[in-house]
Amino acid sequence: MGKPIVILGVFVADTAYRAQRPPRMGETVLGSGFKLGPGGKGSNQAVAAARLGCEVSFITRLGRDPFAEMALKTWREAGVVPAVIETPESYTGAAYIFVEEGTGNNAIIVCPGAAMLLSAEDIDAKADLIRSAGVFVTQLEQPIEAALSALRIAREARVTTILNPAPAAELPAEIFALCDYATPNETEAEQLTGIRVVSKADAERAAAALLDKGVGAAVITLGEKGALLHDGRQARHVPAFNAGPVVETTGAGDAFNGGFAVGLASGRSPEEAVRFGCAVAAISVTRPGTAPSMPSLAEVEALLAGS
């Protein structure tokens, strides 16, 4: 389906704990559930895109351990092609995810492990793969130098570039002009622009600030309010879809970004690609987990057709 997608990022094993509230320092809280599953923003986005029928390659580093085996099994089942640098001197990443019982909201600690050793040299070794893509996607869980290097290669090859600036970090000024699209959520948009995003008007102002920094177009994801796309000419709000009761929001941003990349790779207009991404995210939040919550193309097309 469409042009190939190449994603640079991190795999982590998600260890998800459900409880009424998080523990205070020095306190132990009895939880109501535990789940171990595949995660990491880049890996989740790759799984989301591959489940939607796209040809997807994923560049990362893994240790040589049971979590690495989980990563390879996850990608095999989803159809992701691994472009992995094996790193036995380190460990495969892991994440602590606290899920609040009443709301499904979450708080996360990520330890990327081997993926923190990704370097500009590693990216140079994968340059031909990046150049072969129709769409290149990266986030900020691996070192910024690696992301910057990959974006430069993609831009020189006229590959469409998406930066999902998550988790939010101090970014070199140069990075913005290398991005055809930047896709922050409300919190990340505020950290990048200093503009607090509560309303659609705030999102429009934050998007305009990102355009001023040099991005081609800004997509601010707004949770249950959908997303706002600003391409420099006009700002358009795309409402969220309701695909059923919300179970967990942890993978929603990754579902959106994977879906948005597929939308662009399959030739949709930017606004239609945002709409497609919103539909993918809407289905993902009705299921527990991150990678396991990603829907199939048939499910997304059914939701789009019924809306």
Question: Helix, strand or coil for residue 286?
Answer: coil
Model pLDDT, residue 104: 82
What are the boundaries of each domain within the chain?
A: 5-306
Question: Cβ distance 40 to 47 under 8 Å?
Answer: no
The fold of the 5-306 domain, in CATH, is UDP-N-acetylmuramoyl-L-alanine:D-glutamate ligase (3.40.1190)
**258 close to 46: Cβ distance less than 8 angstroms:** yes
- Bond preceding residue 167 cis, omega within 30 of 0: yes
Which pLDDT value is given to residue 213? 97
Residues taking part in catalysis: 254
- Give me the pLDDT at residue 22, please: 93
Neighbouring residues of 190: CB distance < 8 A, sequence distance ≥ 6 = 196, 197, 206
Rounded to whole angstroms, the Cα distance separating 5 from 193 reads 28
Nearest to 251 by CA among 290, 216, 220: 290
pLDDT computed for residue 184 by the predictor: 98
pTM (2 d.p.): 0.92
Residues of the chain with confidence (pLDDT) below 50: none
Enter the DSSP assignment of 54. -
CA triplet 172, 173, 177: central angle to 5 degrees?
Answer: 120
Q: Give the integer Cα–Cα distance in Å for 36 and 280.
A: 23
